[in-house]
Amino acid sequence: MDLDPDLAALRPLGGFFVLRTPGTALRPLPTLAEAYAETASDPLGNPQGIPLADPLGVRVRKVANALRAPELRIAASVAQQGLAARLWSVTLGCAALYGSVPDLDPRLLHWDPDGSAPDDLWLTEVRPLPPDPATLADVVLHGHLQPLTAALRTRYRVAAGLLWGNAGSALAGAARQLDQWARAGGRTDTAARARALTAELLGHPLLAGTGTLTGTAFRRRSCCLYYRVPGGGVCGDCCFTRPPRSSPRAPSG
């Protein structure tokens, strides 16, 4: 099935899978390429807020305020995992449902950093690409998560192992949701494609070692730091079985 201009097949899967397409943007939004290239000074030096000219800083500050995070690096981790989940959901969903994926070049993909979760993304042109693991890796890992990881490490000093653990966790989570939806609808072929793609992608050098996949269950080897926000606990796939008590800094992989 060819990609339709609205990627309508993704809508039944929910907000993490839906993508705005040409003609649906509500207002001018920065591209993700602009967000990754941002070279603003350390936002810790701007406690009164970050201008919209700094989309990455806007998102991290918004997440920090919503979670009452004690450190911006915790908010940076949560924000990165949320965006990774959106990117994996769209590409994996399209690969499994359409047999092709949209080109999510960061210059074509607009983002509302001040929006609610899940991240609001708008693709200005739907260009189909093949659905093989190498293409998905190029689209998501190389096109987005590598430059995003570099920006967050520079600005917020988040450990690389933590961020790649987030990426593996986000991929596994998208696959699990897609698998559950497909099985509930009797689409075993869709579920099988999603599982096979996920297993191959988790073997990619950037994701290998981030966790263990057993069926659709994933156990990561790092912690996203969510347990450190007020009222936060450990995630279902965390390396910890309970929130750590003794150390202010969790192992990051």
Output the pLDDT for position 45.
Answer: 40
Residue 24, pLDDT above cutoff 70: no
Distance CA 246, CA 253 (A): 18
Residue 1, pLDDT above cutoff 90: no
Top-confidence residue, 186 or 52:
186
Q: What percent of the chain has pLDDT over 70?
A: 89
Bridge pairing between strands 128-129 and 120-123: unpaired
User: Which run of H or of E encompasses 250?
Assistant: none
Output the pLDDT for position 165.
Answer: 97
Residue 113, pLDDT above cutoff 90: yes
At a CB cut-off of 8 Å and minimum separation 6, what does 158 contact? 73, 76, 77, 80, 152, 252
